[in-house]
Amino acid sequence: MRTLRLLAPLASLALFAAPVSTEMALTSADGFVLKGTLTLPTTKGKAPVVILAHQFRSDRAGWAPLVERLAARGIGTLALDLRGHGTSTTKDGVEVKVSDIFSASAAAVGFNRIPEDLAQAAEWLRKQTGVDGHRIGLAGSSVGAFSMLLAAPKVQPVAILSLSPAGGIAFGEGAREGLRDAVLRGRATVLVVASTGDKDAYENAQALKDLPGVSVSLKEGDEHGFAYFKDNADLMAIFFGEYLTYHHTGKTYATPAKPSAASRNVINDRTLAEKKATDGPQ
């Protein structure tokens, strides 16, 4: 059930009309006004949606490459500006922003409450027209990734994409153990991407790799978070496409014995195997 599968066709994306974006805002329990953008595909019925949490010193705009690719697959997104970032810098009428120093920002802004913010955002999202509350995904980068994983038990997502999960210092002693426990209780399919030279993210990824439902993809070098979009954005979209759309239906992929002209451009594991059998030894 939770085994990672990436079998979605690579060249057969459905063609959707331009998605519709709406600005939103909610107030956290401790008074932060959190803002974001809800983007929904113009499809019939309710759409799956991925909640996006960016990395430190960034904002929701950093998710643009993934938002575009998910929209092309009929998947909506809720991209948030995390507390102290972007346009989410007002708390009880007073401006509170992050600085260049992570530890100082974590204390001043309250990074330890980001998982709570994400759970609140998920609760809001499930009440929106056109959203399928049973098909919610989470994606986070760096401290946003760490926060997403911690929020999983309350959000109960189908799938989670965790890019360079880091910043555990913001969540106190035993944060890594808490991360493992949250992933176990969240019961989602999790894809973790981290670089071997990115110490904090790498060690967090290693701590999760033996858990059921977790797949860890390690990259050489020290790339972090949004830097992965350059070469891996399509793979990330396929991951969510598999678990929030086709895979969710419980159906299996079917390829005609004699592909029609329209289907010859569909490339997946099955069509490649059939082509090899038909062509014979090369």
Instruction: Write down the domain spans for the chain.
Output: 20-251, 253-282
Structure tokens at 109: 């802004």
Q: Would the pLDDT of 12 be above 90?
A: no
Domain spanning 20-251: CATH superfamily = Alpha/Beta hydrolase fold, catalytic domain (3.40.50.1820)
Rounded to two decimals, the pTM is: 0.84
Distances 198 to 101, 166, 179, 266 between C-alpha atoms, Å: 18, 9, 18, 37
Q: Which of 133-137, 141-145, 275-279 has the weakest average pLDDT? A: 275-279
pLDDT in tens, 230-258: 999 999 999 999 999 965 444 433 333 33
Alpha carbon distance 241, 236 (integer Å) = 9
Alpha carbon distance 235, 110 (integer Å) = 33
Q: Would the pLDDT of 112 be above 60?
A: yes
Alpha carbon distance 48, 33 (integer Å) = 25
> Pairing mode, if any, of strands 131-141 and 94-95?
unpaired
Alpha carbon distance 78, 255 (integer Å) = 34
